[in-house]
Structure 1
Amino acid sequence: MVAEALVHVARKRGLLDRAGCARLGVLMGAAQIETVEDARRFLERGGRLDGKRARKLAERLPPANQASFGPYAPLVHLADGGMGSVWLAGDANGRLVVVKTMRGNLAGNQEVAYRFERETRYMMELRHPRVVACIDHGAADDGTLFMVLEFEPSGDLKELVQAEGWLPEALALAIVHQVADALSAASDRQVIHRDIKPANIFCTRDGDAKLADFGIARSTAENRTMLTMQGALVGSPYYMSPEQVIADPDLDIRSDLYAVGAVLYYCLCGMDPYRGNLNEVLHAHRTAPIPDVRQVRPEVSAATAAIVVKCMQKKREDRFATPADLAAALVEALARLDGAQPLTAMPRHDPGASTIAADLSGDEAASAGDPPTGATKLKSTQATVAAPGAPDLPTIALSPTEARGETGDAHASADPGATVAFSPSEWSGGAAPPSLASQAETARIATSHPQSAAPAGASSVPPGAPVQRAAPTRPSSSLVPRSLATPAHRPVSEQVSRPAATPTPAGPAVEGDLNTAFANPWLALVGTGHDQLVLLWARTQLALGKLCEPPVDLCLRKYPVSQFRDDCLKISRNHLRLRYDSGLGRPIVTDLGSGNGSTLDGATLPANTTKPLEPGREHLVNLANVLELRVKAIPRREPPVGLLPGLDSDTVAEVGLNRDHRIDAVTLQRTGNRPGMSYALVLRRISLGPGGDLPLAGSGTAVELGSYAGRWLVRSAGGPWKPLLEGSTLTIAGRSFLVGPGQYQLFQGD
């Protein structure tokens, strides 16, 4: 169980990608890891991971003196909150469960204890297939109160949308219908959730969904108990109803339905309906026009677009009256869909805006997060912890006095994705609302995958503003529930005909055993005896920023860092995304709401909008007026290849010589500062050296690298493809390069 728990936390924390998680699971199985101490020794020896990741995973293991929660043994720590902690634990039957605790020293706090008891009671009473089940509850020997929740390994809706860009209309409607079903059960018991958001909805890729985290739920009964925080502003700003924004004491289920409409918009468009800093988002919920889904997705049906509009009406009496009414409208919209409607996808990942300033004094500081200037550390006694997997965005609740922070600064940056609670008086009279630090390290908050807060004063898309739409591409067919699949949705293997662009039947000449080829998608060619460095990624997208760990792929700094520290700080943690759009047949770039902006060929890139790159043309991309990159999309030169001998024909990879991408690669070259460092996104193949796609200094012939079935191949002058071997030396233009895996350490130093 502990091995499974560690793999889960490695995925949720972004410590390892999907392949890395699978590898970790196999290695721990081979090492026969059965207990926490086995896992600790395995990670202390490195666990076949780099030291930093092994240490981070080891830190998640419980200390030797950690008490059990009744019959539930803690295995991996997920998150901390002001009231307690969240653990992955094992029960007596070898099943993973989530244990949510309240600290023993808070047991005497009547209000905190009541809140914990109330959440437990709500979860126990809501025995419903669309609600994460509360299995058990009790008190540990040290007085720690705990509740036990079912473990949902599939991930949450936010993760799913980030992975796919946006969801097919049928899938989005089906997921939201299940949420409405869960809210019907809650409404029958006079309970409102008050924190509906994608991170609190757990779902499988087949479309089965469950609602989680009733930590700030409240009764609507007239005889309900009034708590100290009654009348405070609570919820997740991106999904708050207008009445929730003004802390209306008489919220009802229609407030949750407003949030459901915002969630449906997010599923369909891949972005929140209103964006900006906390104050702008809250103001937009009350005053801005309801955003039109079809400005982003013109192909979405009128019935579905109307559901979003009705849910998000400013006046609650204009919304659906009950979750059952909403569910009926969703069924009707689903029934009207036909197989002619195209499936589309937007760019993957929409992380929060990044900070403008931070400390780059060390590797840990550079990767731990960038607290905005003036941001204060907060102590929360009302923090809630989302279950079962702890969502990406923090769940925070602050008392009115704590909203100011320790220094009294009420105007630092805030994260509208976090769940917040503070008194309306703290931000009335036109003042900006109290702010919340977004990183778990600067507040005692519960979060599975902290994200940076939007910087104060950062540019943002005005609330309700139209969004420039990228041309659509088709997402994975596995995202459509089988019960809803139409011929246009079904996997290719179930359709009568295949796409017209099929690989040629015969593969090119091959020499050597391709199964020995280097199989890491991130390839580093490190110059020996010279300062050239080439980093290649065999994938369809790259995230660029100053963060030197996932989710950023390409860490950008101005060298030497010791000399250009201030310039480096201007680049946002997750600044820019480069992605190949298969529908357009060309790459697109997106500024991810960076604090200091980006330009493309001298023109400002609006935040969170996409711009296509013209194949064959060299574009200039400038980040924060600090670094300039020459970016060029290399058009495909040869048709897709057939099966290469010696490799499994069923091997699936999103890039490779056998894929019908219209672009071979996208090259990125630094100008002015450290030009010897070059990068490329390799969709099929790339030539390196004089006259090649990526010119390198030196004299002599260029070489060609290609990706196939997850492996790297090499050839020269049109010769046969050969396996590229890890640890080998590759000669390009008369210069030697050592072949190895890409590592973040390559970005470090001066």
Structure 2
Amino acid sequence: MEGITVALGDDPLAPGSRIGPYLLGGRLGEGGMGVVLKAEHAVLMRAVALKVMRPEIAADRACLDRFLREARAAAAVNHQNLVAIHDAGEVDGRTFLAFEFVPGGDLDAVLARDGALAPARALELIAGCADGLQALHEAGLVHRDIKPHNIFLDRHGRPKLGDFGLARDAGGADRLTMTGVGMGTPAYMAPEQANGDPGIDVRADIHALGGTLYTLLTRRIPFTGATPWAVVNAVVNDPVPDPRAVRPDLPAEVAAIVARAMAKRREERFQTPSELRVALADALAALGTGGAAVMPAAPAQTLDRTITCDLLAEDKPGSTSDSHPTVKVGPDGEVDAGATMAVAAGDWAGAPAGVMTSVVQTPAPKAAPVVPAERIDGDLTRGLEAPWIALVGDGCHVLLYARRQITLGKLCEAPVDVCLRKHPTTMFRDDCLRISRQHLQLRFDAPTNRLLLGDLGSGNGTLLDGAAMGPNAPQAIEAGGERRLHVAGALTLNLRAHARKGEPPASLGNDAGSVGDCGLDQSFAFDSAVLSRPDNRPGMAYALVLRRLSIGGPGSDLVLPQASGAAAELALWRGRWIWRPGPGAWQPLSDGLVVSAGNKRLKARVGGYDIFQTEG
């Protein structure tokens, strides 16, 4: 099996084809060096990000060495804040690397979707990256290309440093690049890296983390210019940017971290990632309430005026523009300095080597919130801080997700959130084998304020109100009426979306922590979306809790079977779960607390896949 390549049609990398033990899925990115695909190990049924090198590029020994160096760098250290490598090999002339598949996307995508981050969230993300960078440092490695695009979020929102294609031994023993050429991404390079200093060390990566923190706080790149070399000149000579010039409300402690991490002289920076980590922890403690709210996102405008420049050398007699990479710039001459200055082998980000696209984004204004007479009694930090909780009792299994999307399918592991095959009844389990591993996705799209339901290209399809859903063609779900889903002819689900009730409160009087992806502090058009199982398990339900949800008898957002009496209300505030048995003050929802939902008593716990194994 390890030596088998199976192609469907003319494309050897088409979905459904095989490379060794890996069943290929859709493409995640493509560049001059090769392609990155989502794939699944046929035996382990584990999702991976599979990097497949183009055969003609693999024939170039220098490019192949760089490719294999990425594998060795990733394999040299194991840490929760680093993307792990699972496998590397060559099958029928195709060289590949199999990396951990990280489902949360990269920080570039987060910024495009949500806008600049709250200070506390930005500090937390950089702190996690500093932990991963410390592990790299202790392994004797320098990353050399840290930027938002190379930081990924796992399903719990934890950051992971990835893309080790430029990583090298700190002593320079494995150096492959040209002397005097600064490999990396111009806007995030340290001055010594931009100058081609062969002796760069972890302090260059600390500089890049400082630049990344600046971007997370402002949604702007730290240095700009009309050409890559103009950006390099700015990196070397311009003052360190102060994020308070963009966001005057930012605390001085946060701006000071950016300034020190990005100091021009490496001796003036934090000397190790651990030292940076201590400063981040101190700043988080000083914030107390978690800082300002998330700045809103705005649609991106891609501009099309182009210039050409040679990234590696001056123009030579007889050279042609075809040999030069293309750089897209805006009308003000701003280049996307987030693009990587790369050798001719290219990159994996979806564009040929040297192609850079400028994106100009302007945050939209956010309406001032209305302050209702609501409050939290008790210590908010006692509330569950989990993206997934379960309420179990009196014949009910209610799973609540503090996420903007959930995936439903047959798998009982990531990346599926809701397992539709293993559930607390055995009667329908064989029928549920018809459900695909990843069958459906329910997603709230914040920029458009729409709730979307889509079939993920399942084998046996999905009916929505009796009509077949097209594969990978999400449909908008409106608030109000109930929609009926038939999944693979095996399972019926009822879906009901609930519109937002009230405006976001400015405070509940107990505001510890940072603004979360979901919660009462968000101005989403929806409060929740509920999926119930009317036929084969009426007591089981799943809910996407974007802001709040009521549970109980008739009239509740989520109606429990045989329930009566006043409904309980659950919500999220500053990333933690809260609840109340009726009108009045909110209370922290702690682990093991019993929620009274009318005549039902439901015990709260952190969610886990074991809930799907429970027989009932």
Q: TM-score, normalised by structure 1?
A: 0.45
Per-residue Cα deviation, 1:169-198 (whole angstroms, up to 9, x for no partner)? 221111101111111111112211111011
Question: Can you give the 5+ residue segments of structure 1 that lack an aligned partner in the other structure?
Answer: 1-34, 41-57, 357-371, 379-397, 423-435, 437-442, 462-466, 475-483, 495-537, 544-642, 662-682, 685-750
322, 339, 342: which one aligns with 1:407: 322
111, 116, 121: which one aligns with 2:62: 111
What does residue 174 of structure 1 align with? 124
Matches within 5 A, 1:344-363: 344-349=293-298, 351=300, 353-356=302-305
- Give how far 1:470 is off: 5.5
Q: What secondary structure, in the 3-state scheme, does the structure 2 residue paired with 1:97 have?
A: strand
Matched, 1:229 2:163: no
What does residue 418 of structure 1 align with? 339
242, 265, 270: which one aligns with 2:219: 270
- Give how far 1:86 is off: 1.8
Alpha-carbon distance in structure 2 between the residues aligned to 1:453 and 1:286: 21
CA 470–241 in structure 1, closer or farther in 2 if over 3 Å, else same: farther
CA 660–127 in structure 1, closer or farther in 2 if over 3 Å, else same: closer
CA 401–70 in structure 1, closer or farther in 2 if over 3 Å, else same: farther
- Give how far 1:310 is off: 0.4
CA 449–176 in structure 1, closer or farther in 2 if over 3 Å, else same: farther
Alpha-carbon distance in structure 2 between the residues aligned to 1:485 and 1:282: 46
Q: What amino acid is aligned across from residue 138 of structure 1 in structure 2?
A: G
Alpha-carbon distance in structure 1 between the residues aligned to 2:211 and 2:181: 22
Alpha-carbon distance in structure 1 between the residues aligned to 2:382 and 2:281: 20
CA 297–86 in structure 1, closer or farther in 2 if over 3 Å, else same: same
247, 268, 275: which one aligns with 1:325: 275
Contact 1:173–1:264, Cα closer than 8 Å, also in 2 = yes
Contact 1:138–1:147, Cα closer than 8 Å, also in 2 = yes
Q: What amino acid is aligned across from residue 124 of structure 2 in structure 1?
A: A
- Give how far 1:107 is off: 4.2
- Give how far 1:419 is off: 0.9
CA 89–230 in structure 1, closer or farther in 2 if over 3 Å, else same: farther
Matched, 1:127 2:29: no
Alpha-carbon distance in structure 1 between the residues aligned to 2:349 and 2:237: 30
- Give how far 1:249 is off: 1.4
CA 487–304 in structure 1, closer or farther in 2 if over 3 Å, else same: farther
CA 321–338 in structure 1, closer or farther in 2 if over 3 Å, else same: same
CA 488–267 in structure 1, closer or farther in 2 if over 3 Å, else same: farther
What does residue 62 of structure 1 align with? 14
Per-residue Cα deviation, 1:82-123 (whole angstroms, up to 9, x for no partner)? 333222211022221111123334444332222122111111
Matched, 1:100 2:15: no
Alpha-carbon distance in structure 1 between the residues aligned to 2:56 and 2:342: 22
Give the root-mean-square deviation of aligned CA atoms. Answer: 4.5
What does residue 403 of structure 2 align with? none
Matches within 5 A, 1:253-264: 253-264=202-213
Contact 2:214–2:258, Cα closer than 8 Å, also in 1 = yes
Alpha-carbon distance in structure 1 between the residues aligned to 2:265 and 2:161: 25
Q: What secondary structure, in the 3-state scheme, does the structure 2 residue paired with 1:651 have?
A: strand
Q: What amino acid is aligned across from residue 651 of structure 1 in structure 2?
A: A
Q: What amino acid is aligned across from residue 34 of structure 2 in structure 1?
A: G
Matched, 1:241 2:190: yes
Contact 2:128–2:159, Cα closer than 8 Å, also in 1 = yes
Contact 1:229–1:399, Cα closer than 8 Å, also in 2 = no
- Give how far 1:295 is off: 2.7
- Give how far 1:354 is off: 0.7
Alpha-carbon distance in structure 2 between the residues aligned to 1:299 and 1:487: 29
Contact 1:232–1:400, Cα closer than 8 Å, also in 2 = no
Q: What secondary structure, in the 3-state scheme, does the structure 1 residue paired with 2:86 have?
A: strand
Q: What secondary structure, in the 3-state scheme, does the structure 2 residue paired with 1:324 have?
A: helix
Matches within 5 A, 1:72-83: 72-83=22-33
Contact 2:480–2:496, Cα closer than 8 Å, also in 1 = no
Q: What amino acid is aligned across from residue 110 of structure 1 in structure 2?
A: R
- Give how far 1:200 is off: 0.6
Matches within 5 A, 1:343-742: 343-349=292-298, 351=300, 353-356=302-305, 372=306, 375=308, 400=313, 406-407=321-322, 413=328, 415-421=336-342, 445-448=347-350, 453=356, 651-652=497-498, 660=503
Across the two proteins, how many residue pairs are aligned to each other? Answer: 389
Q: TM-score, normalised by structure 2?
A: 0.54
Contact 1:352–1:452, Cα closer than 8 Å, also in 2 = no
- Give how far 1:211 is off: 0.6
Q: What secondary structure, in the 3-state scheme, does the structure 1 residue paired with 2:497 have?
A: coil
Alpha-carbon distance in structure 1 between the residues aligned to 2:261 and 2:380: 26
- Give how far 1:205 is off: 7.1
Alpha-carbon distance in structure 1 between the residues aligned to 2:256 and 2:271: 15
Question: Can you give the 5+ residue segments of structure 2 that lack an aligned partner in the other structure?
Answer: 1-5, 329-334, 370-378, 390-443, 450-478, 484-493, 505-523, 526-616
The structure whose residues are more often helix, as a share, is 1
Contact 2:187–2:221, Cα closer than 8 Å, also in 1 = yes
Alpha-carbon distance in structure 2 between the residues aligned to 1:219 and 1:231: 17
Alpha-carbon distance in structure 2 between the residues aligned to 1:90 and 1:644: 38
Alpha-carbon distance in structure 2 between the residues aligned to 1:542 and 1:489: 29
Q: Could you tell me the percent identity over the aligned residues? A: 33
- Give how far 1:273 is off: 2.1
CA 93–407 in structure 1, closer or farther in 2 if over 3 Å, else same: closer
- Give how far 1:308 is off: 0.7
Contact 1:352–1:453, Cα closer than 8 Å, also in 2 = no
Q: What amino acid is aligned across from residue 421 of structure 1 in structure 2?
A: A
- Give how far 1:137 is off: 1.1
